[in-house]
Amino acid sequence: MSALREKMIQELKLKRMSDKTIKSYVSYINYLSLYYKKSPDKISREEVKKYLYHLQVNRKLSPNSLNVIHCAIRFFYMNVINAEWVVRDIAKFKRNNSKPLVLSKTEVENILNITWNLKHKAILTLIYSAGLRVTEAAQLKVNQVDTDRMQIYIKDGKGAKDRYALLSPTTLTLLREYIEEYRPVNYLFYSRDRDKMHHFSVRAIQRAFKDALFKAGITKEASVHTLRHSFATHLLEAGVNLHHIQLLLGHYSPQATYIYLHARRMDLMNIKSPLDTYDYNILTNPLQRGSLANGNIAKTDDTGNSGGISSQ
C-alpha cells in the first residue's frame, strides 16, 4: 500500500488536514486493508459496508468513532483512487443526542486552586479561561500570546482554522509568574528537554487534570475538554451572545455551539418550575400533607402573598 499511502498523505496535505487527522485517516485505511488482507483499492463496496457493520456490531464503536472512520474511507475512495461509486450512498451513523458535561464555577475554582504545580496550574487555567482545546494549549507558542491586545492567536486549530481567543488578565498574571520561573523559548509549555523545543504532551495535561479532579473530590466523569465546555456554558449564562461564543470556540457551524443552550443553568434564565410557585412549607411539613392531597394548596401570587385554593 506504500504508493497509495503516499498519494493519500499528499491529497490530505493538499486539503490542509492536520497532522493528527492525516495519521488517523491513514491508519484507518491500513486497518481496513489488514482486515481483508488485501490492498484497499481491491476492496469492494459490499466489503466496505460489511467492515463498517463489523465495527458497529462486533467492536461496538461509538457513532462518533464510526463517522471518523467513515470519513477516512470516503476520502480514500473519492480522492485517492477516484472510485466514488464504492462509498456512494453509504450513510453516516446517527450520533447520540448527548449533552456536554459542565463543571460549576465552584468546581472549576476548586480544581485550579488545588493544583500546586505552577506549569499544570497555568495550562489548566489557560484552557478554561480561553476555552482552548487541549492540543491547542499544548502546542501554543510564546509569540502567539498578544499581551497588547489581550488575545491569544490560535494557529491551525481544528479544521486548520485560525482564530483569536480571550486572554484573561488573571491568566496573564499567572502566565507571567510561570514564564519568570520556566523561561520558555519556543513553546509556551515545553516538555522536559534541555533545549525547550518540544511542546508539553496532551497526555501529561490529561494526567494533571485527572489528578486535580481527584484531589478536589469531584466525582463527575470530566476530562480536560470539560473545561472548554464549562467556559462556553459560563459565558452563555453570563449573557454573552451565542455568535460571539461560536467565534471564540472556533466552531465552523453555529449548530456546534447550540449544544450549550442545553447545558446552562435554568435558574439563571429566570425560569421557574411550577412547583416553586407553591408554599414550600406545605410540601415539606408532614402534618399538612393531608391538605395537599385534598387539593388545598397555598399558592403564592405576584405580590408574594399566599392564598388558599380549595378544591371544594
Q: Is 89 exposed, middle or buried (0-12, 13-18, 19+ CB in 10 A)?
A: exposed
119-146 pLDDT, tens digit per residue, is 999 999 999 999 999 999 999 999 999 9
Q: What's residue 158's pLDDT?
A: 73
- Determine whether 94 is an active site residue: no
Q: What's residue 300's pLDDT?
A: 45
Query: Among the options 5, 7, 215, 225, which is catalytic?
Result: 225
- Determine whether 228 is an active site residue: yes
Structure pTM?
Answer: 0.69
Q: Which residue has the higher pLDDT, 222 or 64?
A: 222
Residue 12 CB neighbours (<10 A): 23
pLDDT at 276 over 90: no
Residue 168, CA distances (Å) to 32, 127, 129, 146, 180 in order: 46, 11, 6, 11, 18
154, β-bridge pairs: 163
Residues 6+ apart with CB under 8 A from 241: none
Distance CA 41, CA 52 (A): 17
Q: Which residue has the higher pLDDT, 263 or 3?
A: 3
Asked if domains 2-87 and 105-266 share a fold, the reply is no
- Determine whether 7 is an active site residue: no
| One-letter amino acid for residue 294 of the chain | N
Q: Which residue has the higher pLDDT, 249 or 25?
A: 25
CB contact at 8 A, 67 and 75: no
> Which residue in this structure is represented by grid cell 488545588?
114
Domain locations in the chain as residue ranges = 2-87, 105-266, 274-309
Distance CA 81, CA 119 (A): 47
CB contact at 8 A, 172 and 150: yes
Q: What's residue 18's pLDDT?
A: 82
Query: Among the options 121, 199, 228, 234, which is catalytic?
Result: 228
Residue 13, CA distances (Å) to 16, 21, 206 in order: 5, 10, 28
Which of 37-41, 49-53, 94-98 has the least mean pLDDT? Answer: 94-98
* Position 281 confidence tier, pLDDT thresholds 50, 70, 90: low
Query: Among the options 50, 141, 158, 215, which is catalytic?
Result: 158
- Sequence-ordered strand ranges (E) for 155-295: 163-166
Residues 6+ apart with CB under 8 A from 197: 185, 186, 187, 190
Give whichever of 13-17, 25-29, 233-237, 249-253 has the largest mean pLDDT. 25-29
Query: Among the options 120, 133, 199, 234, which is catalytic?
Result: 133
Question: What is the pLDDT averaged over residues 182-190?
Answer: 92
How many percent of the chain have pLDDT more than 70? Answer: 78
Assigned architecture for domain 2-87: Orthogonal Bundle (1.10)
Dihedral sign for Cα atoms in the order 16, 17, 18, 22: negative
For the chain, the distance separating the N- and C-terminal CA atoms, rounded to the nearest angstrom, is 83
Q: What share of the chain is helix, strand, coil (3-state, %, to 5)?
A: 60, 5, 35
Dihedral sign for Cα atoms in the order 48, 253, 206, 146: positive
Question: Does the domain spanning 105-266 belong to CATH 1.10.443.10?
Answer: yes
Query: Among the options 70, 119, 234, 251, which is catalytic?
Result: 251
* Position 272 confidence tier, pLDDT thresholds 50, 70, 90: low
Which of 98-102, 149-153, 164-168, 230-234 has the least mean pLDDT? Answer: 98-102
216-265 pLDDT, tens digit per residue, is 999 999 999 999 999 988 888 888 888 888 888 887 766 666 566 666 66
- Sequence-ordered strand ranges (E) for the chain: 145-146, 151-154, 163-166, 297-300, 306-309
